[in-house]
Amino acid sequence: MRTDSGRYGFIGEIFSSFQGEGPYVGRRQIFIRLAGCELGCTYCDTSDFRKPADSFRVEHVHGSGEWSYIDNPASVDDVIGVIKLLHTPDVHSISITGGEPLIQPEFLEGLAVKIKDARLRLFLETSGCDHGAFMKVLEYTDIASIDVKLPSHKAVRPEKWEVLYENELACVQSASSAGIETVVKVVITGEDDRAPFERLCDDLQGSGDGVWMVIQPVTPPDMLIGNGDNDGCVSPSLLFSLSETAAGTFKEGHVMVLPQMHRMIGVL
Ligand code: SF4
């Protein structure tokens, strides 16, 4: 196994699709899903990638569902080569997502540098679990999407939640202070999230005009659009209420309630 952690890292998959969440929904992106995550969110939809595997998969024909496999760990240059192969004229940015990208900070930094060298936009999707690691890539990041975990998500044990939350807040503040477009995404699972969400809005008062708040109702596992079955959906009254709360903190027009849109059109 190659061990130069600054140049090699564990990937889960690479594919081209449309951003399905937040203010950049619908933008074409190439997704680099890094493998590995130490959290355990109840709603995780990428659990297959929480542990690194011996290989990662690449969808060379967009939307085909046909994959080829490449050995892990991969070099930064391997990944940049795949990006060039998948690139199309409509690509808005390169999304580095997870898993959790921040648990491979040197590899993440190496990728970020090369993505900027290639004059591509970097869209970083992270839980913000490690502020120190986040700072290593901040200067290369164009858009930071930070997925703040509430206690109901069970991302960590209850006694560790405050530490996770402080890291997430610090990432938001650092990104905003650096003038980077910053998206705070919060998955809402139900009424238990009301009080922690209100606290989050209080804690982000004064975080800056470049910050977006995306309230994302949790996606029921078997939800299909148009099937008339709303079992498991978050109540509309809660979503209205949280949106109104967020309006007291974030710039006008920067509060959104948006489900995972990519599921509606059946893409990754
Ligand atoms: S941080 Fe992301 S990858 Fe990790 S458990 Fe939560 S949803 Fe899954």
- What pTM was estimated for this model as a whole? 0.92
Q: Which residues of the chain have pLDDT under 70?
A: 1-6, 221-232
Pocket of ligand 1 (CB under 6 A): 37, 39-41, 44, 46, 50, 98-100, 127, 155
For atom 6 of ligand 1, which residue has the closest CA? 41
pLDDT of residue 230: 53
Token pair belonging to 173 = 């503040």
Give residue 89 CA to ligand 1 midpoint distance, Å: 30
Within 13 A of 20's CA, how many CA atoms are on the CB side? 16
CATH of 8-265, one of 1.10.460.10, 3.40.50.2300, 3.20.20.70, 2.60.40.10: 3.20.20.70
CA of 145 to the centre of ligand 1 (A): 13
Residue nearest to atom 2 of ligand 1 (CA): 99
Report the DSSP pairing between strands 211-217 and 181-188.
parallel
Q: What is the pLDDT of residue 148?
A: 98
Atom of ligand 1 nearest to the CA of 43: 7
The domain ranges of the chain are 8-265
Given this model, what pLDDT does residue 222 score? 61
Q: Give the angle 92-265-238 at the CA atoms, nearest 5°.
A: 95
